[in-house]
Amino acid sequence: MSDFIFSNQPIQEGKLAKNLASIYHENSPKIHEYHGMWGSLAVSENLYYGYQPYESNEHICVVLGGPLLYFSDVSFIKEKSDRTSGTKAIYKRWLSGEMNWDEDLSGPFAICIINKQSHEALFVTDLMSFIPLYQYKDIDNVVISSHSDALAKSTNQVNKIDIVSRIDFILHGVI
């Protein structure tokens, strides 16, 4: 599965990619990095064809998972003509103002859309939050990731386990 890590503050080039790559035991997928005044983003390549990150002049759109699109033809999955066609379809639908997240997409997904001009970021997950997103906040920084270990490494929180995770582990044996 693909993963990402986003910081609203610029991070030294290569640091987020290194932290994201460290979660893979071997054969780390290709990781794309984006940087600007809006912050930094690292995202590993998606296993689902057509859902690679898409960047326009104004936005960066990332899709984790391979949601079915109820508003568009999904032949891009088998045609393999454009590696970003699914991501672009979601982005264009959102940009038009017609996106209805709970009715237009089906299956596990997490989506990140960054506005490079306004420095705002939108995060959307499927209704069951099948692909969870984790957040770290301090006074100046917000870091959001689809992988808790990459988030902990990027925010120097590796040895600081939060109380919710401790209780979750005690109750369920997993976090």
Could you identify the residue written with the tokens 């979601």? Answer: 90
Q: How many residues does the chain have?
A: 175
CB 5 within 8 A of CB 41: yes
pLDDT at position 24 is 85
Low-confidence ranges of the chain (pLDDT < 70): 78-80, 174-175
The residue type at 115: N
* Sequence-separated (6 or more) residues with CB below 8 Å from residue 137: 143
Q: Is the pTM of this model over 0.85?
A: yes
At position 63, the amino acid (one-letter code) is V
The pLDDT of residue 175: 54
Asked whether the CA dihedral 30, 40, 109, 150 is positive or negative, the reply is positive
Q: What angle do CA 167, 4, 106 make, to 5 degrees?
A: 85
* Residue 158 pLDDT: 84
Q: In terms of Cα–Cα distance, which of 104, 99, 124, 114 is closest to 8?
A: 114
The reported pLDDT for the residue numbered 143 is 96
Tokens 């120097």 found at: 156
For the chain, state the CA radius of gyration. Answer: 16
DSSP label of 129: -
Which tokens belong to 119? 């420095």
